[in-house]
């Protein structure tokens, strides 16, 4: 080939190749993954976000994404610090073809940090089983979704569970409950609803705050020993949990009368506590284990190909499963939005519509191989929670055993409190409530 021939061929190659290179790439739905792989809560953050990413990877590998739209994501390390989460939020909110689909902060304080920003940016924030409880009122918090079951609802299920153990709700009268809580926005979240329930059922509740990180709780538990409660409710996070369980053993408080929140309810909390954790009971809004077709698909399409986000031994553990459930519900919102707006990349505003119109029936859950993993739920523009139930599980040495069915939450207590609290927030902030809505109605 002489020089001029080489030149001609090169020009033809360029003419053919350049349009191919600049042709539009396949549509990609961007989902920010804000996580904490470092710091005192990395123990919990890592498996959660591994599960989240593994589900997205599985959808891409098995289905090519959602209805032909590939999923793409970028991780950002928050260290469980609100200021760093805000940095991540600002950095990622405009990424992707239509910006960030939604955010999952994985922290109540982190969620609080973007409550005012999310409506301005029109990006939904899912706070799955955490966050500000009154954000369940979609009239005041149009972009915040404390989905499945919020803290107040969970608290009503806990008291119902205790009532069941005692043989009836009337037996709660005169009982003494110690609320051992992380001294933070998250830990204090249930104080109002416990006060309300104490008033209704006639039990006594005393609050015992524990400061971060909760390495040494002797003083707290000596006070509890003096108080002589019938039940202890544990609202801890991270190292606070196993320390509390061990301290309970040290004062010989029965672990099966100790009921933890779902953030005190993972293998990371019980295994380090050793034998002290035997009998410990806690709440959950999803199941543990690998015996679900959906999780088998993740093993087949992700882990068997050596593409898992984390260690295979984490698959099926509580926090890994919670990450999967979080991603499952996020995707369910995007899918619902696609039904209305078409099978293309959804904007944050469209995903918000999808979440508000999410109606996840038992049949839908079954068709996706997640029966028993996630409870059915139905959201609306008024109700951003969805009415999920709560199951209770007990640690039996090396694994969890379910000790209850799904217990319905008591919305007759919770909903008026949510609306009153949200209205107060709206008045303080000078917000105008979205109007023309009622529970279960079509969203505007």
Partner 1 sequence: MAFDWLFFLEVLIAGLLSGAMYSLVALGFVLIFKASGVFNFAQGAMVLLAALTFVRLVEMGAPLWLAGVSTLMVMVVLAMLVERLVLRQLVNQAPIILFMASIGLNFFIEGTAQGVWDSDVHALDLGVPDLPIDVFGMLISQFDIFAAAMVAALVVVLAVFFQKTRIGRALRAVADDHQAALSVGIPLQTIWVVVWSVAGVVALVAGLVWGSKLGVQFSISLVALKALPVLILGGFTSVPGAIIGGLIIGAGEKLAEVFIGPFVGGAIESWFPYMLAMVFLLFRPQGLFGEKIIERV
Q: Which residues contact partner 1 by CB under 8 A?
A: 37-40, 42-43, 46, 183, 207-213, 215-216, 218-220, 222-223, 225-226, 238-239, 242-243, 246, 249-252, 268, 271-274, 276
Which residue has tokens 């369980």? Answer: 245
Which CB sits closer to partner 1, 158 or 181?
181
3 state SS of 222: helix
Residue 273 CB, shortest distance to partner 1, in Å, is 8
Bridge partners (DSSP) listed for residue 35 = 77
3 state SS of 176: strand
Residue 249 CB, shortest distance to partner 1, in Å, is 7
Length of the chain: 444
- For 236, the token pair is 């801890």
Which CB sits closer to partner 1, 50 or 383?
50
Whether the Cβ atoms of residue 352 and residue 381 lie closer than 8 Å to each other: no
Residue 250, judged by CB atoms within 10 A of its CB (0-12, 13-18, 19+), counts as middle
Measured distance CA(310)–CA(33) in Å, rounded:
15
Which CB sits closer to partner 1, 213 or 369?
213
Which residue has tokens 């309970």? Answer: 248
β-strand pairing of 125-126 with 281-284: unpaired
Which CB sits closer to partner 1, 101 or 220?
220
Residue 250 CB, shortest distance to partner 1, in Å, is 5
Residue 421 CB, shortest distance to partner 1, in Å, is 21
Which CB sits closer to partner 1, 120 or 252?
252
Which CB sits closer to partner 1, 142 or 238?
238
Which CB sits closer to partner 1, 242 or 380?
242
Crossing angle (nearest 10°) for helices 151-166 and 191-201: 30
Residue 41 CB, shortest distance to partner 1, in Å, is 8
Which CB sits closer to partner 1, 67 or 184?
184
3 state SS of 359: strand
Which CB sits closer to partner 1, 119 or 272?
272
Measured distance CA(136)–CA(383) in Å, rounded:
6
Measured distance CA(285)–CA(364) in Å, rounded:
18
Which CB sits closer to partner 1, 43 or 185?
43
Residue 346 CB, shortest distance to partner 1, in Å, is 34
Handedness of CA 154, 156, 162, 167 (dihedral sign): negative
In 10 A of CB 53, how many CB atoms? 23
Which CB sits closer to partner 1, 220 or 409?
220
In 10 A of CB 294, how many CB atoms? 20
In 10 A of CB 405, how many CB atoms? 10
3 state SS of 117: helix
Residue 228 CB, shortest distance to partner 1, in Å, is 12
- For 157, the token pair is 């299920």
Residue 395 CB, shortest distance to partner 1, in Å, is 13
Residue 281 CB, shortest distance to partner 1, in Å, is 20
Cβ within 8 Å of residue 442, ≥6 positions away? 357
Residue 19 CB, shortest distance to partner 1, in Å, is 45
CA distances from 39 to 35, 88, 213, 215, 244 (A): 11, 16, 11, 14, 20
Which CB sits closer to partner 1, 238 or 386?
238
Residue 196 CB, shortest distance to partner 1, in Å, is 20
Residue 430 CB, shortest distance to partner 1, in Å, is 30
DSSP 208: E
Residue 257, judged by CB atoms within 10 A of its CB (0-12, 13-18, 19+), counts as middle
Cβ within 8 Å of residue 23, ≥6 positions away? none
């Amino acid at each position: 080939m002489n020089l001029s021939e080489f030149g001609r061929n090169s020009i033809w190659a360029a003419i053919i190749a350049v349009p191919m290179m600049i042709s539009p790439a396949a549509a990609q739905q961007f989902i920010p993954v804000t996580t904490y792989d470092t710091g005192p809560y990395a123990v919990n953050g890592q498996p959660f976000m591994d599960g989240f990413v593994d589900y997205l990877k599985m959808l891409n590998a098995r289905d090519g994404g959602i209805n032909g739209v590939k999923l793409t994501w970028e991780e950002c390390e928050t260290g469980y610090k609100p200021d760093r989460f805000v940095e991540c939020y600002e950095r990622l909110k405009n990424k992707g073809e239509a910006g960030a689909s939604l955010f999952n902060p994985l922290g109540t304080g982190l969620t609080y940090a973007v409550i005012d920003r999310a409506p301005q940016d029109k990006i939904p924030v899912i706070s799955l089983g955490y966050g500000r409880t009154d954000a369940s009122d979609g009239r005041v918090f149009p972009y915040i979704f404390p989905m499945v079951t919020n803290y107040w609802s969970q608290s009503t299920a806990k008291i119902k569970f205790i009532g069941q153990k005692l043989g009836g709700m009337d037996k709660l009268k005169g009982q003494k409950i110690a609320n051992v809580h992380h001294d933070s926005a998250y830990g204090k979240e249930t104080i109002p609803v416990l006060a309300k329930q104490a008033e209704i059922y006639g039990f006594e509740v005393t609050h015992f705050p524990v400061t971060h990180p909760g390495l040494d709780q002797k003083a707290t538990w000596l006070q509890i020993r003096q108080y002589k409660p019938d039940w202890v409710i544990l609202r801890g996070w991270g190292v606070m949990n196993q320390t509390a369980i061990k301290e309970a053993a040290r004062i010989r408080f029965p672990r099966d009368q100790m009921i933890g929140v779902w953030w005190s309810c993972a293998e990371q909390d019980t295994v380090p506590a050793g034998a002290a954790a035997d009998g410990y009971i806690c709440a959950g809004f999803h199941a543990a284990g690998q015996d679900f077709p959906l999780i088998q698909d993740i093993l087949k399409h992700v882990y068997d190909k050596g593409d898992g986000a984390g260690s295979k031994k984490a698959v099926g553990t509580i926090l890994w499963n919670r990450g999967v459930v979080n991603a499952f519900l996020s995707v369910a919102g995007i899918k619902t939005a696609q039904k209305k707006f078409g099978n293309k990349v959804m904007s944050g505003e469209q995903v918000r519509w999808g979440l508000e119109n999410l109606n996840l029936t038992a049949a839908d859950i079954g068709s996706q191989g997640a029966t028993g993993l996630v409870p059915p739920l139905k959201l609306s523009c008024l109700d951003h929670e969805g009415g999920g139930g709560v199951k209770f599980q007990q640690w039996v040495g090396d694994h969890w055993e379910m000790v209850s069915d799904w217990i319905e939450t008591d919305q007759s207590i919770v909903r008026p409190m949510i609306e009153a609290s949200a209205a107060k927030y709206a008045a303080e902030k000078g917000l105008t409530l979205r109007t023309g809505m009622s529970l279960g109605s079509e969203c505007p």
